Amino acid sequence: MEGSPRPPRTSTATNPRRRVAWAAVSTSLAELTTLRLGGPAGRTETASTNDELIELVGTADEAGEPVLLLGGGSNLVVGDDGWPGLVVRVATPRVTIEDDVVTAQAGVGWDTLVSRALAEGLAGLETMSGIPGLVGATPVQNVGAYGAEVADVLTGLTVYDRHRRIAEAWLPERCEFGFRTSAFKHTHRYVVLDVTLRLTRSPVSRPVRYLELARRLGIEPGETAPLEQARETVLALRRSKGMLLDPADHDTWSVGSFFVNPLLDAVPEAAAACPQWQADGKTKLSAAWLIEHAGFSRGYGLDRGRGTVSVSTKHTLALTNRGGASTAELLELAAEIRAGVEDRFGIRLGPEAHLRNCSL
């Protein structure tokens, strides 16, 4: 949900925008991200309706002001210099449920939506319990966990096109979903306003495909479990890996998985023992395994330098702020890990996190 293109100034919106004098507020982005890193914002605003969101973004675009859209800040790395323009906090709150169809605006907390769907007896989101962030970010990354992803249940969404200055409905086919990617991921042209999901009325989960989760549930892969049991088991798994936000636990001062599991046409011989799965016609490898077997174990970094950044003590995919860190220190650790994995296995890892006003 972040970024700032430079749309043509000759474009016009389909609806004339109200001209509003927005009160600017100076904010440190370290206060708004789960990493607790990032310098100051030029100014921040909050959008509580889709009209406000479109107006804030459109007005800034017309003025040539850089825009950073901020949801939960859970997959965002901002440079120590901060963001030089407008930061828009997305807080659009509406959820509607009609039979098995759920529509949620971008500012709804993802896990809040999961919990509400389960309370309504709707299956399909249970294995994605506990994922931080907001609904609007989920199509961008095609968010998923434990064998399920948003693309499995998404039937449509509303998108604001910053170049054409219009809001329009998209079908899933236009989103180009793949493993942790979509048509939105490498462009800042579009702002997701809401998503529509079709779920299943059922007291039990969808078939559990992920072996680790099936074992925890005491079932065979492909079997189902009661909805709440599935959710609580997923939450317990995420908690054990430091993937549930907890201000008191520095292992959760992270962006979750910093690197994405690589998708390869061919697996190098050096990585033949790495756990692997088929996805999108390619072979997906475990980035966590590659990192650990390249010599970066849990807690790596705690005894180095100032000890302010390290690999999580619970999960090798998470890079963490131990307190008092800088973005530069975190990215230095990330670069060291990426170089080490490439030297050992010939595989170059890419960041799953979104980097803004900084680079790896």
Exposure letters 198-226 (e unless 16+ CB within 10 A, then b): ebeeeebbbebebeebbebbebeeeebbe
Backbone angles phi, psi at 22, to 5 degrees: -85, 140
Bridge pairing between strands 354-356 and 309-311? unpaired
How many angstroms separate the CA atoms of 39 and 327, rounded? Answer: 9
Helix, strand or coil for residue 335?
helix
Asked about 180 being catalytic, the answer comes back as yes
Q: 246: buried, middle or exposed (CB in 10 Å: 19+, 13-18, 0-12)?
A: exposed
Residue 351 backbone phi and psi in degrees, to 5: -70, 140
Contacts with 124 (C-beta within 8 Å, 6 or more apart), sequence order: 117, 148, 152, 153, 197, 198, 199, 200, 206
- Catalytic residue among 126, 326, 352, 356, which? 352
- Selected catalytic residue, list 165, 180, 231, 298: 180
Among candidate residues 74, 257, 312, 326, the one labeled active-site is 257
Residue 49: partners with Cβ closer than 8 Å, 6 or more residues away? 92
Distance from C-alpha of 228 to C-alpha of 48, rounded to nearest angstrom: 31
Q: Cβ of 249: how many Cβ atoms within 10 Å?
A: 15
**Residue with tokens 């016009």, as numbered in its chain:** 12
Catalytic annotation present for 352: yes
**Which residues are identified as catalytic?**
180, 257, 352
